């Protein structure tokens, strides 16, 4: 069985090795999170959702490594589920941890323009004669067989390539040199479709590594003792990394949070960030990576009781039933693409035909009613 190591480049220290390929590597330097040690100070607004501008660089030496666009899109979708706690396995979070599990309020969108302003699909493809990349800086430079980063102030740079046999990914903390700032994922652990390693086939390696890019450490603080932790009060002390999915694993006198995205469990085991982690990621985004934010919205209900608005499927239609008049409604997906935007409606029941190209999507439905405004989330089967 393959296992994970995890990490951040520059000063690389193996954090966990079972003798086979593992999730990532880890950098000795840690992000600043002391403000969260005994509580959660944050600038996050209630229900705020931030969208991050993303470019994916595919650096390949074989046809198999040159993964298709569909596999890349499946990873972006997985990130958007995990960071909004819309993952279907969220219901499996252990009861003891459900009260601290959080919607992290972060979305990811492939870039629509490159650094020069030209239109793009947010994906680059570069052939390399290097059979694999170690956890060093070479991946970030054309001259060393990799691919130069796009402006790291404006883009989250995600690299997909063949990584060395010992790990599946690495990432950089806020404050890293801008020439080597980003996340790298092995092509066999990227997305939810394709030729993937069985234990890492749900896109959680990218979820984990981007957590580092947003300033999160491992739950055990990379010290592997009960005297060191991640600086967050709502993740229990943990002595060392987890593997597989041992839900009964304990250390430091408490149950370990092995389902947390910042542990090293299998993809099928992971399903939550905590409220403290969500607050810290928002804080770091705004302080250190604000230029990558393409949009900031607040999902809120003003005066409208959501129980007064019912949304359901009927055949190939979305049906909205409201106890008050609906003046306007808009339907968008998680990338911000607008499917429907209607004004001057003046009805209590609305039937909206679905097109085939949005099956499997997650939608946000904005409704302006007679007495207020609400936003609902809807997953299209």
Residues with catalytic function: 209
SS3 159: strand
> What does DSSP say about strands 372-379 and 362-369: parallel, antiparallel, or unpaired?
antiparallel
Strand partners, 24: 169
Strand partners, 314: 317
Residue 117 DSSP class: S
Q: How many CA atoms lie within 13 A of 297 on its CB side?
A: 16
Cα dihedral 155, 143, 11, 50 in deg (nearest 10) = 0
Largest CA distance in the chain: 65
> Who's near 339: CB < 8 A, 6+ residues apart?
331, 332, 333, 358, 363
Nearest one of 267, 256, 258, 284 to 207, comparing CA atoms? 267
Contact in structure between 24 and 7 (CB atoms under 8 Å): yes
Q: How far apart are CA 283 and CA 296, in angstroms?
A: 14
Please report where in the chains the tokens 């969500």 appear, as a residue: 278
Q: How far apart are CA 269 and CA 259, in angstroms?
A: 5
């Amino acid at each position: 069985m393959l296992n994970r190591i995890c990490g951040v480049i520059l000063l690389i220290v193996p954090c966990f090795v079972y003798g086979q390929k593992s999730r990532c590597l880890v950098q000795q330097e840690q992000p600043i999170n002391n403000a969260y040690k005994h509580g959660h100070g944050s600038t996050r607004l209630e229900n705020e959702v931030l969208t991050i501008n993303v470019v994916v660089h595919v650096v390949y030496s074989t046809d198999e490594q040159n993964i298709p666009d569909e596999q890349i899109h499946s990873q972006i979708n997985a990130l958007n589920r995990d960071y909004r706690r819309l993952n279907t396995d969220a219901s499996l979070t252990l009861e003891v941890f459900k009260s601290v599990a959080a919607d992290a309020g972060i979305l990811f969108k492939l870039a629509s323009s490159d650094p020069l302003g030209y239109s793009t699909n947010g994906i680059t493809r570069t052939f390399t004669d290097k059979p694999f990349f170690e956890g060093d800086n070479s991946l970030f430079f054309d001259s060393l067989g990799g691919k130069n980063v796009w402006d790291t102030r404006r883009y989250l740079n995600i690299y997909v390539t063949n990584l060395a046999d010992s790990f599946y990914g690495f990432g950089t903390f806020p404050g890293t040199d801008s020439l080597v700032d980003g996340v790298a994922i092995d092509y066999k652990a990227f997305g939810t479709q394709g030729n993937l390693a069985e234990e890492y086939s749900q896109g959680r390696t990218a979820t984990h590594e981007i957590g580092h890019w947003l300033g999160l450490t491992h739950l055990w603080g990379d010290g592997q003792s009960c005297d060191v932790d991640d600086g967050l009060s709502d993740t229990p002390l943990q002595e060392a990394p987890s593997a597989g999915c041992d839900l009964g694993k304990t250390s430091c006198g408490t149950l370990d949070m092995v389902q947390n995205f910042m542990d090293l469990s299998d993809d099928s085991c992971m399903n939550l960030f905590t409220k403290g982690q969500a607050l810290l990621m928002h804080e770091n985004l705004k302080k250190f990576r604000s230029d990558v934010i393409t949009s900031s919205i607040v999902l809120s209900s003003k005066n409208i009781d959501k129980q007064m608005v019912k949304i359901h499927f009927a055949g190939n239609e979305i049906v909205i039933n409201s106890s008050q008049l609906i003046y306007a409604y808009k339907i968008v997906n998680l990338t911000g693409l607008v499917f429907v935007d209607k004004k001057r409606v003046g009805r209590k029941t609305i039937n909206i035909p679905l097109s085939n190209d949005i099956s499997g999507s997650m939608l946000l439905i904005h409704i302006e009613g007679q007495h207020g405004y609400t936003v609902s989330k809807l997953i299209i089967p």
